[in-house]
């Protein structure tokens, strides 16, 4: 069974409520109907009901819950709750009233208040616009200082990672994490690998140096992050600093880091910053013809996932299933 099929099966085991704020967007609408038919989640679409129904005349949305934020019975409650949550930032009642009319904020409040278990958006909104309400309202999970993201990569060569499956992080959120944040990204990604893929994590902290082969302040950050990550998760196999070939290739690992439990066997690659992470996953995806599933947002107290604006209907269905499984694992 393929990876996505097994994630979909997990999602079906205990159905969760997933809210889709971009309810009037055509791909999102189609994905909602498919996710509902496949039993992956109880989907809620946000938007004006007439507009939603006029968009897809050929698609039956009768089984899907549609909520118009401004007219919903929860609107006033969410406005008040948001003022309380953001009081320390000086949010006024008027500002809250306007924010909660925005489906991205309304949907995030649904998740915060327990009226939905997770949120998926980003088909027409930027990463920043999708994540900002989640960062402000849902916040990080206990013990996790930073929200980050990972990609599940399925490469053609089964000798790498776990039968050709690896997780790459952070490829989409934190431009330049410090060593403590990088450590948290490593530990969070290990947990995502266990929860979504059933991996036994072998986490490589990547650099242009392997175990002191180069000296530079950029390398120092990775060395320090490795130390912090080991402290945070003493039972997880984490090692660094490692070059990508030492992390992935057994014969290179034997030469460069023979005593490492991770080198040559890594299935989780932690990049030192967003430039390398984002470039790295796109190179593997395009030149290596790999499947890239994500970005999967991790480290939030409740799951919110961002789509690429170029996403297909199937991509949205897959992210709904992933979000539902993340909600199960809380
Ligand atoms: N983890 C936890 N909290 C965070 C994080 C984080 N990584 N980043 C910001 N926050 C919190 C802040 O503490 C702040 O909270 P507060 O208001 O309660 O004090 C709140 O979020 C807003 O903080 P800002 O610094 O104003 O964050 P901003 O909204 O500007 O940006 C964002 C956050 C969108 C994640 C930003 O870091 C970003 O743009 N990252 C890059 C995204 C990107 O362009 N990725 C590449 C494309 S994606 C792709 O190719 C797949």
Q: For the residues 31-38, what does the mean pLDDT come to?
A: 95
Question: Rounded CA gap, 262 and 240, in Å?
Answer: 9
- Model pTM greater than 0.95? no
How many angstroms is it from 11 CA to the middle of ligand 1? 28
Q: What is the pLDDT of residues 66-102, one digit of tens each?
A: 999 999 999 999 999 999 999 999 999 999 999 999 9
Nearest CA to ligand 1 atom 42: 173
Q: What is the pLDDT of residues 279-321, one digit of tens each?
A: 999 999 999 999 999 999 999 999 999 998 889 999 999 999 9
Domain tally, the chain: 2
The residue whose two tokens read 């992210």 is 319
pLDDT of the residue at 2: 85
How many angstroms is it from 130 CA to the middle of ligand 1? 10
Q: For the residues 192-216, what does the mean pLDDT come to?
A: 95
Burial 40-63 (b: 16+ CB within 10 A, else e): bbbbbbbbeeeebeebeeebebee
Mutate to test the pocket of ligand 1, among 141, 171, 173 (most ligand atoms within 8 A of CB): 173
Distances in Å between the Cα of 238 and the Cα atoms of 38, 146, 222, 303 are 38, 19, 12, 25
**Shared-domain flag, residues 7 and 117:** yes
Q: Which helix (H) or strand (E) covers residue 2, if one does? A: none
CATH number of the domain bearing residue 194: 3.40.50.10750
**Shared-domain flag, residues 203 and 69:** no
Q: For the residues 130-148, what does the mean pLDDT come to?
A: 95
**Shared-domain flag, residues 228 and 279:** yes
**Shared-domain flag, residues 23 and 123:** yes
**Shared-domain flag, residues 128 and 154:** no
Domain that holds residue 105: 3-139+301-328
Helix (H, G, I), strand (E, B) or coil at 130: helix
**Shared-domain flag, residues 72 and 91:** yes
Q: Which helix (H) or strand (E) covers residue 77, if one does? A: helix 75-85
Mutate to test the pocket of ligand 1, among 90, 135, 285 (most ligand atoms within 8 A of CB): 135
Q: For the residues 136-140, what does the mean pLDDT come to?
A: 97
In terms of Cβ atoms closer than 10 Å to its own Cβ (0-12, 13-18, 19+), residue 34 is middle
Q: What integer best gives the mean pLDDT of the chain? A: 95
Of the candidates 208, 221, 217, the one whose C-alpha atom is nearest the C-alpha of residue 174 is 221
CATH number of the domain bearing residue 116: 3.40.50.10950
Provide, rounded to the nearest whole percent, the portion of the chain with pLDDT above 90: 92
């Amino acid at each position: 069974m393929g990876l996505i099929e097994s994630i979909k099966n997990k999602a079906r085991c205990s159905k969760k409520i997933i809210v889709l704020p971009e309810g009037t967007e055509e791909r999102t609408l189609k994905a909602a109907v498919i996710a509902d038919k496949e039993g992956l989640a109880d989907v809620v679409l946000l938007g004006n009901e007439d507009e939603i129904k006029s968009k897809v005349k050929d698609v039956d949305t009768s089984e899907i819950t549609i909520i118009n934020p401004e007219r919903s019975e929860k609107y006033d409650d969410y406005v008040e709750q948001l003022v309380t949550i953001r009081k320390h930032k000086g949010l006024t009642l008027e500002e809250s009233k306007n924010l909660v009319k925005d489906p991205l904020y309304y949907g995030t409040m649904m998740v915060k208040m327990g009226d939905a278990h997770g949120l998926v958006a980003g088909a027409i909104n930027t990463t920043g616009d999708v994540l900002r309400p989640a960062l402000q309202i849902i916040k990080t999970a206990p013990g996790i200082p930073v929200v980050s993201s990972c990609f599940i990569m399925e490469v053609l060569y089964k000798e790498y990672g776990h039968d050709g499956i690896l997780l790459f992080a952070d490829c989409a959120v934190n431009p330049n994490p410090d060593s403590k944040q990088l450590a948290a990204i490593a530990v969070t990604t290990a947990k995502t690998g266990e929860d979504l893929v059933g991996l036994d994590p072998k986490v490589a902290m990547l650099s242009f140096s392997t175990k002191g082969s180069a000296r530079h302040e950029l390398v120092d950050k990775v060395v320090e992050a490795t130390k912090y990550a080991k402290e945070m998760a003493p039972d997880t196999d984490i090692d660094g600093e490692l070059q990508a070939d030492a992390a992935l290739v057994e014969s290179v690992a034997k030469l460069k880091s023979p005593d490492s439990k991770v080198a040559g066997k890594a299935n989780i690659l932690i990049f030192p910053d967003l430039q390398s992470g984002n470039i790295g996953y796109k190179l593997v995806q395009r030149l290596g013809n790999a499947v890239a599933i994500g970005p999967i947002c991790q480290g939030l107290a409740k799951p919110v996932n961002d789509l690429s604006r170029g996403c297909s209907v199937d991509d949205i269905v897959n992210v709904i299933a992933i979000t539902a499984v993340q909600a199960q694992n809380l």
